[in-house]
Chains A and B, each alone.
Chain A
């Protein structure tokens, strides 16, 4: 059983709020920057929640593999659908 300290959790929350601020700011600057921010900041935020808040960091490798398999499959599903819609 792993106890995550309050301090860690609060720091993560501050980072999440900060990243959201950057994301929002970028979306007001230019469309290109908005897309770039979306592509990099959003997965980072989700990763932080999964990794620290959801304790994935402290779980056995099995948990990480499971999440990775599911997300990879979703990416493949979306990617392979584009084999059709992008070349129609």
Chain B
């Protein structure tokens, strides 16, 4: 910050920065891990209710959003390759594409949740009153998990936009690209979590 000594100490250690980022990602995995623990227990306890409630989720939204996230993972991975090869324009385009895909995901999520809430399928909502406990829990977990995941998408979107700006002003360059790398890592993790969410919630038959 204002202190020159510590500015100098804040030397570049890209591998160290990646170690730190990976550790942070591990905490994210465990954060969602707690939800998956609850899911596992309740699915074991209420298998039929989980199956019948799962049928009410929209396959189309789930599968479409999977496709969106997988593709955004590809584009963000490519933009690191682009920057490493010195293709700054391509890198920025791909970052913008990734950010757009993130927005697409959020819009889909918004529509999906909107439809559910419209039918009264939310905690304490009219659509869930009188349902067996297993189904209520399914929707409770569905909203908690996809909601937390959605917040991460939003955070990732902000990170992507910031990094896009940093690439534009050459703060992130082919020689010093750890920020882009770490932003990409974060975005991939959001994808990894969704890879688990899809079969657990949307494809439970």
Residues of A near any B CB (own CB < 8 A): 1, 3-6, 9-10, 12-13, 16-17, 20, 23-24, 27-28, 30-31, 34, 37-38, 41-42, 45-46, 49-50, 52-55, 59-60, 62-63, 66-67, 70-71, 73-74, 77-78, 81-82, 85-86
Contact = CB atoms under 8 A, between A and B. Distances in A.
A31 B185 contact: no
Contacts of B19: 62-63, 66
Interface in B32-50: 33, 36-37, 40-41, 44-45
A66 B73 contact: no
B188 A53 contact: yes
A27 B196 contact: no
Contact of A9 (B41, B81, B84): B81
A30 B205 CA distance: 8
Interface string B174-205: 00000001001100110110011011100111
Given A46-B195, A53-B77, A34 B66 contact: no
A63 B185 CA distance: 13
Contacts of A71: 29
A44 to B, nearest CB: 10
Interface of B: 15, 18-19, 22-23, 26, 29-30, 33, 36-37, 40-41, 44-45, 51, 59, 63, 66-67, 70-71, 73-74, 77-78, 80-81, 84-85, 181, 184-185, 188-189, 191-192, 195-196, 198-200, 203-205
20 contacts: A3-B84, A3-B85, A4-B77, A4-B80, A6-B78, A9-B74, A9-B77, A9-B78, A12-B74, A16-B70, A17-B67, A24-B59, A34-B204, A46-B195, A46-B196, A53-B77, A70-B30, A77-B37, A78-B37, A81-B41
Contacts of A31: 51, 205
Contact of B29 (A6, A70, A85): A70
Contact of B70 (A4, A13, A30, A59): A13
Contact of A5 (B23, B36, B81): B81
B73 to A, nearest CB: 6
Nearest to A53: B77
Contact of A45 (B22, B195, B205): B195
